[in-house]
Amino acid sequence: MQRDNSVLAFFCGNEEVYEHSFFKRFPKTTPRGYGTEVCIYITDQSIETYYNYVIKTIGKKSLVTPLELKPWDSKDFRITDPFGYYLCFREPRNILDK
């Protein structure tokens, strides 16, 4: 995943990954991101603008939850990538404000 000069990379599942001491405990069919949530805070534009960009770029096929206001008074949306990583894109929020 790349945005401007920032790149977020996850290893996807080649033989080198399958033979790694940690990953070889799991079947090769296990999604690499199983049980992992990665939260990414969007700070350079509104979360609505970024959400619209993502939907325009990749469509809704990977969308898990649409952009919505959460009970903790912050907006986010969630997608899964092709390797099973659960990605949460969230607007910045200072938890010390409340």
pLDDT digits (tens, 9 = 90+) for 15-53: 777 787 877 888 888 777 777 788 999 998 999 999 999
Task: Return the closest-CA partner of residue 49 out of 18, 8, 91, 86.
Answer: 91
Q: Domain 2-90 belongs to what topology?
A: 3.30.720
| Residue 77 CA: distances (Å) to CA of 4, 22, 26, 89 | 20, 30, 29, 6
Residue 1 banded pLDDT, cuts 50, 70, 90: low
Instruction: Report the pLDDT value the prediction gives residue 24, as an integer from 0 to 100.
Output: 80
**Structure-model confidence comparison of residues 87 and 16, the more confident one:** 87
Q: pLDDT digit string (tens) for 48-79?
A: 999 999 999 999 999 999 999 999 889 999 99
Q: Where are the domains of the chain?
A: 2-90
Angle (CA) 44 12 85, round 5°: 50
Instruction: Report the pLDDT value the prediction gives residue 36, as an integer from 0 to 100.
Output: 77
